[in-house]
């Protein structure tokens, strides 16, 4: 197990480029099953979630190689439609494989997916949508078995704009017979990226980025070389780090409109923000002011994946802030660790009441999930004294060499094996 030793109180300066988006790369890897020709995904981040998805693909019979920053996937010999439970329970995004496997083999089986413990995250929306496409589904003892003779296009309505369900429907419907129209689709930039990837393979998908997506099924898809969109959540985390620490940082690779509400909130805190093309520059000046209210919503609302980081910011700002988490019911598990650093936070259900402290202090804290772990790291960067952040396995799921990017900006962060 690794830990970070962090010396707080240093201002951040410089420029850093965002990695490719974890939440894009994982469904792209799942989509590689749809063709028997090679797929190359450029600039693949070396994070453990990517390596876990690669192991799932290998378990299906695919060949996966990492050549520098490229992931090269050859699914021509893939023949297994059952995902090992040990891998499924490690990675939430393994659920994307249901759509891909059904499109390729007309069969799929997996255990209920795992990932971070931030709530129930039921997959009913996924399963109900697959049933609309003609899939028979059996659920027994924590295992899901799916089969069909032919996927058939249908009209599907999502009661909630689930990112995962939207992506699973796209993956299944691209090789279905006829046209599928999805209403109530998620609008995230990563959905647009998946559409672009599939269309580059020969699919006929339109409407991604809106709440209505049309998928005209095709008989086969071909190989592709593709560069994913950059990670707006990593970019947002770096911007928040600069806001907490002070200084001036430019993050390259992410367009400001994909982080619109975050940038608005950072301006409320007192930061100066400038955007141009795919560059965002932030300058933190003086004591931050608390946001009055932050409420997570589906895109383009405030991202749930940045809620913990902004809670850490407000914990050391002037005033009071109400955080409302609408997407995941147990996403405040990081709060007791943040309170070890002097944060004054009261959690009631989906609400967190934050009373800003003069300054947080160093402490020994433990990561319990990916984004909560990032929040603890950011809090430690701005805290007085030295902190240690334990169990980086969660953080390594989504941030590639996070300490190297932070130290390149002037932070005092050291990874230590324990």
pLDDT 10s digits, 356-414: 999 999 999 999 999 999 999 999 999 999 999 999 999 999 999 999 999 999 999 99
Q: How many CA atoms, within 13 angstroms, populate the side-chain half-sphere of residue 351?
A: 6
Measure the CA–CA gap between 395 and 409, rounded to whole angstroms: 19
CA triplet 45, 13, 321: central angle to 5 degrees? 85
CA triplet 103, 106, 107: central angle to 5 degrees? 115
Measure the CA–CA gap between 216 and 391, rounded to whole angstroms: 45
Tens-digit pLDDT profile for residues 220-241:
999 999 999 999 999 999 999 9
Tens-digit pLDDT profile for residues 36-65:
999 999 999 999 999 999 999 999 999 999
88 contacts 94 by C-beta, under 8 angstroms: yes
Residue 264, C-beta contacts closer than 8 angstroms, at least 6 positions apart: none
Sign of CA dihedral 164, 169, 174, 179: negative
Q: How does residue 93 score in pLDDT terms, banded at 50, 70 and 90?
A: low
> In the chain, count of helices (H) and strands (E)?
13, 23
Measure the CA–CA gap between 135 and 176, rounded to whole angstroms: 11
Residue 83 has what pLDDT?
85
Among 413, 418, 415, 416, CA closest to 12: 413
Angle between helices 307-315 and 232-245 (to 10 degrees): 0
Which domains, ranges and CATH numbers included, belong to the chain?
2-19+230-417 (3.65.10.10), 22-219 (3.65.10.10)
Alpha helices in 246-289 (DSSP H): 260-269
Measure the CA–CA gap between 356 and 354, rounded to whole angstroms: 6
Is pLDDT of 92 > 70? no
Q: Which residues are catalytic?
A: 116
Measure the CA–CA gap between 196 and 339, rounded to whole angstroms: 43
Angle between helices 97-105 and 163-173 (to 10 degrees): 10
Residue 26, C-beta contacts closer than 8 angstroms, at least 6 positions apart: 49, 50, 53, 91, 93, 96
Measure the CA–CA gap between 126 and 93, rounded to whole angstroms: 12
Residue 170 has what pLDDT?
98
Residue 82 has what pLDDT?
87
Sign of CA dihedral 158, 163, 166, 169: negative
Measure the CA–CA gap between 251 and 364, rounded to whole angstroms: 29
Tens-digit pLDDT profile for residues 280-331:
999 997 889 999 999 999 999 999 999 999 999 999 999 999 999 999 877 8
Chain mean pLDDT for the chain? 94
Question: What phi and psi values does residue 126 have, to the nearest 5 degrees?
Answer: -60, -50
Residue 113 has what pLDDT?
65
């Amino acid at each position: 197990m690794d830990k970070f030793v962090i010396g707080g109180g240093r201002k951040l300066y410089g420029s850093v480029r965002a990695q490719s988006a974890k939440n894009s790369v994982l469904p792209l890897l799942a989509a590689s099953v749809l063709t028997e020709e090679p797929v190359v995904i450029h600039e693949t981040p070396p994070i453990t979630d990517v390596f876990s998805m690669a192991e799932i693909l290998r378990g299906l019979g695919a060949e996966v190689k990492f050549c520098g920053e490229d992931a090269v996937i050859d699914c021509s010999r893939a023949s297994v439609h059952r995902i090992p439970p040990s891998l499924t329970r490690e990675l939430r995004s393994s659920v994307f494989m249901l759509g891909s496997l059904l499109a390729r083999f007309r069969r799929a089986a997996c255990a209920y997916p795992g990932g971070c413990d931030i709530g129930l995250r039921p997959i009913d929306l996924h399963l109900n949508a697959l049933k609309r496409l003609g899939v028979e589904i059996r659920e027994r003892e924590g295992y899901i078995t799916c089969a069909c003779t032919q996927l058939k296009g249908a009209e599907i309505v999502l009661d909630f704009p689930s990112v995962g369900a939207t992506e699973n429907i796209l993956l299944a419907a691209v090789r279905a017979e006829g046209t599928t129209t999805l209403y109530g689709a998620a609008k995230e930039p990563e959905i647009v990226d998946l559409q672009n990837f599939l269309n580059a393979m020969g699919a006929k998908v339109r409407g991604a980025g809106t709440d209505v997506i049309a998928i005209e099924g095709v008989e086969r898809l071909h190989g592709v070389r593709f560069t994913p969109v950059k990670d707006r959540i990593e970019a947002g985390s770096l911007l928040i780090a600069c806001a907490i620490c002070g200084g001036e940082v430019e993050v390259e690779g992410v367009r400001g409109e994909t982080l619109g509400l975050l940038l608005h909130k950072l301006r409320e805190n007192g930061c100066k923000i400038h955007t141009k093309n795919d560059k965002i520059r932030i300058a933190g000046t003086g004591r931050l002011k608390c946001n009055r209210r932050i409420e997570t919503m589906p895109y383009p609302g405030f991202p749930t994946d940045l809620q913990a980081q902004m809670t850490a910011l407000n914990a050391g700002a002037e005033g009071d802030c109400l955080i409302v988490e609408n997407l995941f019911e147990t996403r405040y598990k990081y709060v007791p660790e943040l309170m070890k650093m002097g944060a004054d936070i009261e959690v009631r259900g989906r609400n967190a009441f934050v009373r800003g402290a003069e300054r947080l202090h160093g402490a020994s804290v433990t990561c319990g999930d990916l984004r909560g772990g990032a929040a603890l790291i950011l809090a430690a960067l701005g805290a007085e004294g030295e902190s240690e952040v334990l169990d980086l396995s969660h953080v390594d799921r989504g941030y590639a060499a996070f300490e190297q990017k932070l130290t390149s900006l002037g932070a005092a962060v050291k990874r230590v094996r324990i």
